[in-house]
Amino acid sequence: MKSRPYLLEVQSGGNGADIAGVVAFLAFAGYISFMIYLFLPMVGNIPFFSKVDTAIEKAELLSYVTPTSNYPAGYAGVSIGDGAPVLVTPEAVQIQSTYTPYPTYTPFPTVNAFPLSNHRFSFYDPMIGKDKPDIALINCENWNFATQYCDSKLRNGERWEDNYFLAAACPYDLYLAGAFFEVVSPDWLKALFPRGFTCKDTGEMVMDLFIDFLIPWGSMPMPYDQTPWGDPITLMRLR
């Protein structure tokens, strides 16, 4: 039997089987070509190939798309090449914008719930009895004449010694609230209480608009007999 290294070889004298082989090969090649033609559209739906194609298209588009501004929300204003700006929806060109954080929240200024209030001035010194024994019991309920010392405490239980220029005797409702004030005027009183004062004490004579400040009588800026008892003062309540 002779060898047939090539399918298209035609032996001398002819052979019907060789012609039939050529026809079969051409038919098979046509069938394969037709199947490839049908299969090509499906390649775009394969995730790997579709991502590659989309990435290439975006890279090509972004290479000549320039973002512009002043367009309605939901659209991206772009100029394609050297042409005029056009509107492109986010669905058409999905350009990821640079994240801009929201501005830091700044709370509104605290509004003082208490308006300025007008009161009347008074003061007391638990140790005034050393120099003015006739009014010792007015300034200290438990004045000790033997030791020349005030044995009382403030109504809230604190030591009066620790509260000069920080506390005052107030009407009972302000004492119960632990009201805290800043002095607005007069200036001399504001200078004595630069950090404000708290209502920590009460007194039988401290009623209505009177505020009885806890002040060493020697620190008053005027002689005792010129004390401005009952003079109007203006306070700002903060608590």
The model's pLDDT over 21-53, given as tens digits with 9 standing for 90+, comes to 666 778 777 778 777 777 666 655 555 555 545
pLDDT of res. 38: 72
Structure tokens at 110: 């605290």
SS3 28: helix
CA dist 178 → 133, 141, 163 (Å)? 31, 22, 14
Query: In the chain, what percentage of residues exceed pLDDT 70?
Result: 59
The model's pLDDT over 114-150, given as tens digits with 9 standing for 90+, comes to 899 999 999 999 999 999 999 999 999 999 999 999 9
pLDDT of res. 113: 76
pLDDT of res. 31: 79
pLDDT of res. 228: 97
CB neighbour list of residue 120: distance below 8 Å, 6 or more residues apart: 208, 209, 210, 211, 230, 231, 232, 233
Residue for token pair 């308006």: 115
Domain match, 130 and 228 both: yes
CA dist 226 → 130, 135, 169, 188, 231 (Å)? 20, 16, 21, 14, 12
Q: Which residue has the higher pLDDT, 68 or 147?
A: 147
Domain match, 146 and 65 both: no
Q: Which of 192, 193, 196, 220 is nearest to 124 (CA)?
A: 220
Q: Is residue 108 part of a domain?
A: no
Q: Is residue 167 part of a domain?
A: yes
pLDDT of res. 214: 98
- Answer yes or no: is pLDDT of 9 > 80: no
- Answer yes or no: is pLDDT of 218 > 90: yes
85 upstream amide cis, omega within 30 of 0? no
Q: Is the pTM of this model over 0.85?
A: no
Q: Is residue 196 part of a domain?
A: yes
Domain count, the chain: 2
Query: In the chain, what percentage of residues exceed pLDDT 90?
Result: 51
Average pLDDT over residues 161-179: 97
Burial of 212 (0-12, 13-18, 19+ CB in 10 A): buried
* Domain containing residue 216: 116-237
Domain match, 162 and 228 both: yes
Domain match, 228 and 130 both: yes
The model's pLDDT over 176-192, given as tens digits with 9 standing for 90+, comes to 999 999 999 999 999 99
Domain match, 211 and 165 both: yes
